[in-house]
Amino acid sequence: MNSRKEVSEAVIRRLPKYLRCLGELKSKKVLRISSKELSERMSLTASQIRQDLSCFGEFGQQGYGYNIEYLNESISKILGTYNGFKVIVIGAGNMGTAITKSDRIKNRGFNVVGIFDNNKDLIGTTIGNIKIQHIDKVKEFIKSNKIDIAALTIPKEQTEKIAEKMVTYGIKGLWNFSAIELKLPEHIAIENVHLSDSIMVLGYKINNE
């Protein structure tokens, strides 16, 4: 959509945080906010907020600030929450189940519409109201349902191979929960959630702060 100058990763990763803050304000029926006020709530600088937002357009008004409803909508759009992205989960373990059941993810507009596993005992059982299907069915399912995203919650040994298959089946983005770096064609979006990396960073922080 907006491909002005290439927005930095740091800016992108702040957008969901803005969204959370704006959501709170909205629920408190606050109508407008200045970059200054917002910066205090979020422990950022006002300058950074204005700079960040200006990557995507002009959302404020001099002398007034930002309309919360409008800014919330705008950032939501940028993050694709109105795209109706369809998600499948590969791997019906605890992580796959957690994602499938997550209201939070659903509320942000990412809809889990299929779950796949290779364990025959699980096939046909349901998570939420979604039936677990055999992984052999995934190719057909992706094509006929125009799936956008695959969440990979499978053992790391299998992840690379499955990821490559997903690409050939036409998936646009991979949400990877295995502790490996996927090397895939440029046009495939990848987002990693490396829990073991995360807890080690916590370990570092405990020792050093």
Partner DNA sequence: TAGATTGTTAATCGATTAACAATC
H/E segment holding residue 26: helix 9-27
Nearer of residues 105 and 130 to a second copy, judged by Cβ = 105
Q: Is residue 50 a contact point for DNA (CB under 7 A)?
A: yes
Q: What are phi and psi of 169, to 5 degrees?
A: -80, -5
Select the binding partner of residue 121 from DNA, a second copy, none (C-beta < 5 to 8 A, by kind). Answer: none
Beta carbon of residue 63, minimum distance to a second copy (angstroms, whole number): 29
Q: Is residue 25 a contact point for a second copy (CB under 8 A)?
A: no
**Interatomic CA distance for residues 64 and 72, integer angstroms:** 16
- Span interacting with DNA, options 56-64, 92-100, 123-131, 200-208, rule CB under 7 A: 56-64
208: number of Cβ within 10 Å: 6
144: number of Cβ within 10 Å: 8
Q: Is residue 31 a contact point for a second copy (CB under 8 A)?
A: no
Compute CA 64 distance to the chain's CA centroid, rounded to the nearest angstrom.
31
Q: Are 184 and 164 in contact (CB under 8 A)?
A: yes
Q: Is residue 123 a contact point for a second copy (CB under 8 A)?
A: no
Q: Is residue 54 a contact point for DNA (CB under 7 A)?
A: yes
Where along the sequence are the contacts to DNA (CB under 7 A)? 8-11, 33-36, 44-48, 50-51, 53-54, 58-66
